[in-house]
Structure 1
């Protein structure tokens, strides 16, 4: 199944998103039983971002929120003299597209039947940690 290429640039303490989507496939989106964003929901946003501005806005807002949370945690850890969680590249050099996000969801939960019940935030955070590791001290 083709996935749109939604490029997300991580920089500084913000996330800028440039959306260049080429194809869309709709999935039934859902929240987890606890009301949290599910992997199914994120994949649906990725798949429909090209044709649905609202889905694109939700995807960008959601990913931005997770990135902002991780960067805020970085700042707290660094103020305490501890190592950061992730080390994004300089402004404008970090890229993550829709296919990478979906691949990260597959890595976190290979069983797609469980996606509606699986929280996406830990999966996205794990993807960010793998994508932007900090150099060994």
Structure 2
């Protein structure tokens, strides 16, 4: 990703990469100093290779050179981009545990939008929490 953003920055006639980099001294200074990790989670998906995404506008979605996909069997929501995927939060938490030395993690945002604009959609509430608990609670 670092090289990709640097290459795309040059293609956009920038003098340096849009992605800042740390010096070795800065990396050494901050390594292992996090007290916790905060993360938002709404939905999971699959990514496929998109080798020639548009160069402009320069943004995360074009830089990553992938195309997002969802499974049509996943429960939808009131937002086109959001599928109910509680297994994804479990995978994310396991990834944090493995890659960040079991640091404490706080889920700072999580939820699902509805289609009918009411807070009393008990079918959605039941479905969301059942799937959330099924995907995340291990006794």
Q: Common fold, TM-score beyond 0.5? A: no
Higher RCO by CA contacts (8 Å cutoff, separation 6 or greater): 1
Rg comparison, structure with higher value: 2
Bin for the TM-score computed over the shorter chain: under 0.3
Q: Which structure shows the bigger proportion of residues in helix conformation? A: 1
Q: Which structure shows the bigger proportion of residues in strand conformation? A: 2
TM-score (norm 1): 0.23
